[in-house]
Amino acid sequence: LSNPVLKITEDEWDKVLDTNLKGAFLVAQEGARRMNAQGKHGSIVNIASVLGLRVASHLTHYCASKAGLVQMTKALALELAPQNIRVNALAPGFVETDLNREYLASEHGQKQLKRIPFRRPGTMEELSGPLLLLCSDASAYMTGAILAVDGGHLVSSL
């Protein structure tokens, strides 16, 4: 996924944008259609990223896709609110997964983690509570919100 801007191919660009932005749009659109057809209210939660709110080198395509997802979340929230459908997004920071475990253990990964106030990656379990909040009636008056779950990444100093 990480690639300097001058080496990102059109296929790489399309794959990342299709997955992160187009895919989320199509799922949200179908979910809203089904909620409307059943006459029900509901909640759509997109999975954005702190890199939709802040940038990182060598991830232009990823940052663009997640920033687009942040704006799409807000636009959908505005449009679907009259139908009582809430649209919010989680914006995780570094969360350890099978895909990034090796990178996070590397020297470069460790340097990045030291810039985060909590000085560690999050866990998948730490996303559960915020996700449940956005899915539940506990957030009945929230729409268009981007909830950062990032160990303080967005408030860290550069």
Catalytic sites, residue numbers: 62
Please state, in angstroms and rounded to a whole number, the distance separating the CA atoms of residues 43 and 137.
Answer: 9
Please state, in angstroms and rounded to a whole number, the distance separating the CA atoms of residues 127 and 125.
Answer: 5
66 secondary structure, DSSP code: H
Name which of 133, 66, 123, 130 is nearest 94 in CA terms: 123
Please state, in angstroms and rounded to a whole number, the distance separating the CA atoms of residues 25 and 32.
Answer: 10
8 secondary structure, DSSP code: -
How many CA atoms are closer than 13 Å to the CA of 83, on its beta-carbon side?
20
Q: Which secondary-structure segment (H or E) carries 80? A: helix 60-80
